[in-house]
Amino acid sequence: MFLHIQNVLTAEEIAFFQQSLGPDAPWVDGARSAGGQAQHQKNNLQLSQASELSAQLQAKVKAAVHRSALFFSAALPRRIFNPLFNNYGDGTNHYGNHVDSAVMHSKADGCWVRSDLSCTLFLTAPEDYDGGELVIAQALGEKRIKLPAGDLILYPSSTVHQVSPVTRGHRICSFFWVESMVRGLEQRQLLFDMDMALLKLRQSVGETDPAVIALSGSYHNLLRMWADV
């Protein structure tokens, strides 16, 4: 599942993030947080997780994604790893091919999170930097992603991906991982497709139509069968 979710942040929130994550923010070497093979590929800056600013911005990102019905439908989140923040530009401007770790340990709350889905929330307008695409390897070729500020991309954590070199300006994003209530990618996709079809059906025939009631029951029974909470 690759899902582009628009307008996760409001214009006011985007401005706040951009002001907060300037050059004077407590940036540290991003390779400190990478594990294993990824350490040798990661060349960026990351907001210090120990800072008060990090805790403040993490809460804002979580609040934003929690109010997105589309995010909930697609991810069916059980746990969300505390959002982190990265900065690509100048001499620390890329992250080579890697696969995200299967299990993440949060220093903020001590929780272990299985990484079913990866999320990148773009905080810099695309016209403000060159390069910096999220590049995801696929069987039929690369998928290159560069979204407007405030938009989010949701994709499987099992994919090989990279951030291409930023050659002008700075690319600042929030990134985090989701442990889903439904572990299986195919099952999550089926549930998401059914939920989107139900939404269209409700809009055309109403909530009390027998077909809507029956299909809603099927959706929830499948979720009940597959969910691990």
Q: What is the pLDDT of residue 41?
A: 78
Q: Are 21 and 174 in contact (CB under 8 A)?
A: no
CA angle centred on 5, ends 223 and 93, rounded to 5°: 120
Is residue 203 classed as helix, strand or coil in its secondary structure? helix
Extract the runs of DSSP E, i.e. beta strands, from 19-90.
Answer: 27-29, 42-43, 45-47, 77-80, 84-88
Q: Which residues contact 132 (CB under 8 A, 6 or more apart)?
A: 88, 93, 146, 163, 164, 165, 166, 171
> What b/e readout covers 97-118, taking b as 16+ CB neighbours within 10 angstroms?
ebbbbeebebeeeeeebbbbbb
Q: Which residues contact 155 (CB under 8 A, 6 or more apart)?
A: 1, 2, 3, 117, 118, 119, 136, 161
The reported pTM is: 0.93
Short-list 47, 109, 51, CA closest to 82: 109
Q: What is the pLDDT of residue 115?
A: 96
| Cα–Cα distance measured from residue 97 to residue 169, given in angstroms and rounded to the nearest whole number | 22
Cα distances (Å, whole numbers) of residue 36 to 68, 84, 102, 159, 176:
33, 19, 12, 16, 18
DSSP one-letter code for 146: -
Q: What is the pLDDT of residue 140?
A: 85
Q: What is the pLDDT of residue 34?
A: 58
Residue linked to tokens 């401007």: 93
Q: What is the mean pLDDT of each run of 10 residues along the chain (229 residues)?
A: 96 98 95 62 92 96 97 97 95 93 84 94 98 93 96 97 97 97 96 97 95 96 95
The strand pairing partners of 66, in sequence order, are: none
Is residue 195 classed as helix, strand or coil in its secondary structure? helix
Q: What is the pLDDT of residue 105?
A: 87
